[in-house]
Amino acid sequence: MNIVDRFISYTKVNTTTNRENGAAGIMPSSEGQRVLALQLVEELKALGVEDIKIRDTAIVTATLPSNLDYEVPTVAFFGHLDTSAEQTNDTKAQILPYKGGDLCLNKELEIFLRQSEFPELENYIGDDIIVTDGTSLLGADDKAAIASIMDMLQYFKQHPEVKHGTVKIGFVPDEEQGLRGAKAFDVTEFGADFAYTLDCCGIGELVYENWNAGDVEITFIGTSAHPMSAKGKLKNSLLMAHKFIAMLPGGEAPEYTEGREGYYWVKQLAGNSARTVLKMDVRDFTEAGYAHRMAFLKQLSEQCEALWGEGTVVCKQADRYANVFNSLQGENRYPIDIAIDAYKANGITPRPIPMRGGYDGAALSQKGLPCPNIFTGAHNFHSIYEYLPVKSLYAASDVLKSVVKITAERFAPGAKA
């Protein structure tokens, strides 16, 4: 099966993540993820790879054994089964030739992929592009990754003369809900030395920096009173929360920041005059900056409590994931170098970018499995305008093949470091 057919077949399985089930601790959160996992198990068996396992959580793992007569580090590749909850409709993927200008996704509904809105389309003139009919996500995030990984495995099984070390693969659920699958993944049992996720953007982009991320929940406890006798008695927790928000640093919110600029995100506010809960996301690329932001919110909460009275402000903080760059320093940098060499081996200019978000590699890296992030070739994740140039999909698979080959060469006896 060629890589495009594989990808299209995966898009036909609705694997939309289910936030309610996820919040209830159910994994996978949607049954479609299990359906796709079982399909992948059968495809892996047909390819003839070994040690295929599927867990109750729908986590799938498998191994391509080494055909070398010497030891090299074991490389792994990961993709996630779920698609984002922004759209829940079934995907109707189509392949359209792109000749420039606007691309019509749905004539009846007058839905167009407009070049004026997405100028990077100009890079794909003359290419075939995989899109939807404009009524759903495409699901290249992250089914393009799965297709690329499966295509890579097929290549090595069909070409036993090509030397390679041990290759591990992992498909995990519910990445779109705080990296739940990766957080549940048993890195020790898996046995890889380094890994890559494919959960990024256009051809050439390479991620080995992302947020240090935390969750903050601040509860404001007021005092209720009937308005006819409220003077001097009523403490309105809603107003307390608004005053707290007003004291956050100006301009340090998602809508005002870019690149490596961190932020405080006021994400949810709910309550009444007696009790109000504020939920926030905290993000920063540096460990020191992240620690400063979390400490600032804690200190501000304590100061407000001192102003409004004991027990009026309760601040709870939790770390969500760390910057993968923290795990790719010194002797652990080699996964970055191998990826860069693999890009260049395929005539692709590496374009490292800081990811203003999280991906499974962040959780895996924290568990001791260094894990940069390779492109899928797709654009406009989480949008009905998501699209995937066919040549970029092939390029992603070719980069994986090169990673495996370069690993075998780099660690061969007598090879130069």
Q: Mark whether 138 and 188 lie in a shared domain.
A: yes
- Of 268, 300, 319, the one marking the end of a domain is 319
Quick one: pLDDT at residue 227?
80
Q: What is the dihedral of CA 28, 30, 33, 35, to 10 degrees?
A: 110
Quick one: pLDDT at residue 358?
86
Quick one: pLDDT at residue 352?
96
61 falls in which pLDDT band (50, 70, 90)?
Answer: very high
Q: Mark whether 181 and 221 lie in a shared domain.
A: no
Is 417 inside any structural domain? no
Torsional class of 126: left (φ above 0), alpha (ψ -120 to 50), beta (otherwise): left
- Residue list for the binding site for Zn(2+): 80, 141, 176, 199, 382
Average pLDDT, stretch 117-145?
97
- Of 283, 302, 319, the one marking the end of a domain is 319
| Dihedral sign, Cα of residue 257, residue 261, residue 264, residue 266 | positive
Element (H, E) at 407: helix 390-410
Average pLDDT, stretch 90-105?
96
DSSP state of 326: G
Q: Mark whether 172 and 311 lie in a shared domain.
A: no
Q: Please, what's the largest Cα pairwise distance for the chain?
A: 87
Residues 409 and 304: their CA atoms lie apart, in Å, by 60
Is 415 inside any structural domain? no
Residues 87 and 179: their CA atoms lie apart, in Å, by 19
417 falls in which pLDDT band (50, 70, 90)?
Answer: low
Q: Mark whether 269 and 299 lie in a shared domain.
A: yes
Q: Mark whether 153 and 139 lie in a shared domain.
A: yes
- Kindly report, residue by residue over 34-46, the tens digit of the pLDDT: 999 999 999 999 9
Per the CB < 8 A criterion, the answer to whether 30 and 82 are in contact is yes
Tokens of 348: 């692709």
Average pLDDT, stretch 282-296?
97
Mean pLDDT score of the chain = 96
Contacts of 29 (CB under 8 A, 6+ apart): 17, 18, 19, 21, 22, 82, 173, 174, 177, 180
Quick one: pLDDT at residue 231?
85
pLDDT at 233 over 80: no
List the domain range (segments joined by +) for residue 289: 211-319
pLDDT at 78 over 90: yes
Quick one: pLDDT at residue 299?
98
Per the CB < 8 A criterion, the answer to whether 65 and 50 are in contact is yes
Residues 170 and 326: their CA atoms lie apart, in Å, by 22
- Kindly report, residue by residue over 169-222, the tens digit of the pLDDT: 999 999 999 899 999 999 999 999 999 999 989 999 999 999 999 999 999 999
Catalytic residue among 175, 209, 284, 398, which?
175
Q: Mark whether 188 and 220 lie in a shared domain.
A: no
Tokens of 283: 């993000």
Domain CATH code at residue 258 = 3.30.70.360
Average pLDDT, stretch 295-300?
98
- Residue list for the binding site: 80, 141, 176, 199, 382
pTM over 0.85: yes
Residues 120 and 129: their CA atoms lie apart, in Å, by 13
- Of 319, 336, 354, the one marking the end of a domain is 319
Catalytic residue among 82, 174, 209, 398, which?
82
Is 394 inside any structural domain? yes
82 is catalytic: yes
